Amino acid sequence: MKKMRMPLWFLLMITPLFCSCAGRINGSLLAGGQADLQISVSLEPRMAALIVRLASASGQEQAGANVLDGPAISASMRSAPGVGSVSLANTAPAALAGPVRISRLGDFLAHSAGRDAGSSFITFEQGPQGGRCLISLSLETGPAILALLSEEIGDYLSALMAPIATGEVLTKAEYLDLAAMVYSRAIADEIAQSRIRASLDFPGAVQSARGGTFSGRRAEFDIPLLDMLVLESPLSFEVTWR
């Protein structure tokens, strides 16, 4: 789909990533700060139909039969700070999958002008005794992070009126009521039920995983998409390892 320019919103990949969807991230974090990830995202049926309607109503054409344009999203993500390579392909008209390599985790989505705006999104530390990775997301940093990550993703989120893109202060209940009023209760229900799941291997035995669970070198996260879209409270995920 070509760019949708609308006055309001749209996660997580983050992450990244992502509207009403099933999202999964699998990968490994290496001691040097490199991350190799495998990402898959699929839109729920009503959300996919909504995106098609929005594009049609604004006079914009889709890229072939695809609701999401994997190559276009890949191209925009490749210019993000800290990204080594991205190759997302359409596995279905409303689904994407493929590898993403982060070449410098400490620089990932860092603001190009210095330590401000999106620079606090991720912190990576590695020493002789182990390491620490911290991911933080808030209404203050969300729009800047989306701008750095992908213009296409930001456009989808803006069309959905998500606070992570607009910076508007809403509770989760208020946001779902807004989505139901503007689009439909079925769309709001899809958003409320969607989750992003991540499974990551770390350079050593994990000692703690704030916001998730862990065993051996692996940490697992199961995050409601609504929490990321609204950011009623800032999100913080931290993993430490030896």
Nearest Cα to Cα of residue 14 among 205, 170, 227: 227
Spatial CB neighbours of 57, under 8 Å, sequence gap ≥ 6: none
Cα–Cα dist 69/74, whole Å: 9
**What is the pTM (predicted TM-score) of this model?**
0.78
Cα–Cα dist 66/97, whole Å: 13
SS (H, E, C) the chain: CCCCCCCCCCCCECECCCCCEEEEEEEEECCCCCEEEEEEEEECHHHHHHHHHHHHHCCCCCECCECCCHHHHHHHHCCCCCEEEECCEEEECCEEEEEEEECCHHHCCCCCCCCCHHHHHEEEEEECCEEEEEEEECCCCHHHHHHHHCHHHHHHHHHCCCHHHHCCCCCHHHHHHHHHHHCCHHHHHHHHHCEEEEEEECCCCEEEEECCEEECCEEEEEEEHHHHHHCCCCEEEEEEEC
Spatial CB neighbours of 234, under 8 Å, sequence gap ≥ 6: 136, 137, 138, 139
Task: Break the chain into its structural domains and give their ranges.
Answer: 21-241
Q: Are 16 and 152 in contact (CB under 8 A)?
A: no
The pLDDT profile of the chain, 242 residues, written as one tens digit per residue, is 333 333 222 233 333 333 445 688 999 998 888 999 999 988 877 777 877 776 665 555 554 567 778 888 898 889 888 899 999 999 988 888 999 999 988 888 776 444 454 445 888 899 889 999 999 889 888 888 888 887 777 777 877 889 998 889 999 999 999 999 998 898 898 889 888 889 999 999 999 999 999 999 999 999 998 999 999 999 999 999 99
Q: How confident is the model at residue 36, as a pLDDT?
A: 95
Q: How confident is the model at residue 117, as a pLDDT?
A: 47
